[in-house]
Amino acid sequence: MQQPWTRRLYGLPVVVALLAAAGSSSTSGAAARAVPRPTGQQAAHCRALHAELPDALAGLERGTSRPVSEFTAGWGDPAVVLRCGIPRPEVLTVGSESFDRYAPAWEIGGIRWFVEQLPGGSVRCVANHRAAFVEVFVPKEYGGDGTGQTVLTELAAIISATIPEGYV
């Protein structure tokens, strides 16, 4: 039974539609995001994830994140940016001004992703219901060619293997 506070959309066609509808601004903001500072068990999960991240993701070569951190990674140019150990997103925080009980959540590869289309056309995806939040920015440039859906699918397998289900 579907919970009243979530709206789940299953399958990759929805991801393709959202990524294909992406707009037309720069992704430099995503690449310039601050390095997360998880502690304790969250940090341990993020380190385990970092150790398993591939040299190539959806055909994109891995680059060096600046600043260098075991909690961030990037692939391609413009970069698909992963950040592990981020704080709970405001839109998912009960009581916050931005809380949205109907925020879209998609299950892809066994991971529940909160998906947010950004004003510039890029997409922010947050793996939630895990013991650490993992955020992935997919630049608008990868929306229409299938790269975005492949990124989420490939990362889902790695996240599932390194970050157990749970709540932060």
Helix (H, G, I), strand (E, B) or coil at 118: coil
Segment 122-138 shows an average pLDDT of 94
Per-residue pLDDT tens over the stretch 64-102: 888 889 999 999 999 999 999 999 887 777 887 888 877
What pLDDT score does 4 carry? 37
Cα–Cα nearest to 154, from 111, 117, 94: 111
CA distance 65 to 164: 25
User: How do 133-138 and 80-86 pair as beta strands?
Assistant: antiparallel
Segment 92-118 shows an average pLDDT of 84
Per-residue pLDDT tens over the stretch 3-24: 333 334 444 343 433 333 333 3
pTM of the model: 0.79
Helix (H) or strand (E) holding 20: helix 12-20
What pLDDT score does 17 carry? 38
Segment 115-123 shows an average pLDDT of 88
Q: What are phi and psi of 166, to 5 degrees?
A: 165, -175
For the chain, how far is it from start to end, CA to CA, in angstroms?
24
Domain ranges of the chain: 18-162
User: How do 7-10 and 104-108 pair as beta strands?
Assistant: parallel
Segment 134-142 shows an average pLDDT of 94
What pLDDT score does 36 carry? 93
Q: Is the Cβ–Cβ distance between 82 and 72 less than 8 Å? A: yes
